[in-house]
Amino acid sequence: MVSIKLSENKINQIKDICKSFNNEKGELINVLHKTQSTLGYLPAEVQEVVARELNTSTAHVYGVVTFYSFFTMIPKGEFPISICMGTACYVRGAEKVLDEFKRELKITVGETTADGKFSLSCLRCVGACGLAPVVMVGDKVYGRVAPDGIKEILNDYK
């Protein structure tokens, strides 16, 4: 027997989201978007509930979650940091910026700092190539970021 360990409140939230899409299997990706934006991430238990509500297999839900880079099963940091790895940013030194973040936060891409404050990820182009290299912290965009400027960025959140 598979048991799902989630608070009733969360289960109801997920159920409501599924219901708002008529519990339709074809709306899986929309449901996952909404659920992730509500709960922050998509842990296994959440996927189990979604699968049940949409009358599909958990394996299918997991298959979809792991296919799309936007979905995450790990909670992101309070301030998620995303480094744009679009070509424009790449040729203007995004890799060095990323290396500096890794060194400064002592985590690698896909990880969250022990205090839960920062997480690090790479993005495809955010379309702000004029500002390359670009870093996003939460919804805020930092343009023309240089490796020696990242301490300053992090200080905004400390």
Site for other proteins contains 64 (CB under 8 A) = yes
Which of 116, 140 has the CB closer to other proteins? 140
Q: Which stretch binds other proteins (CB under 8 A): 20-28, 109-117, 149-157?
A: 20-28
Rounded distance, CA 73 to CA 128, Å? 27
Q: Which of residues 116-145 bind other proteins (CB under 8 A)?
A: 123-132, 134, 139, 141, 143
Cβ contact 34:17 at 8 Å: yes
Pick one of 39, 44, 109, 137: the residue that binds other proteins (CB under 8 A): 44
Site for other proteins contains 23 (CB under 8 A) = no
Query: For residue 69, what are its two tokens?
Result: 């880079």
| CA angle 21–25–30, rounded 5-degree value | 50
Which of 5, 158 has the CB closer to other proteins? 5
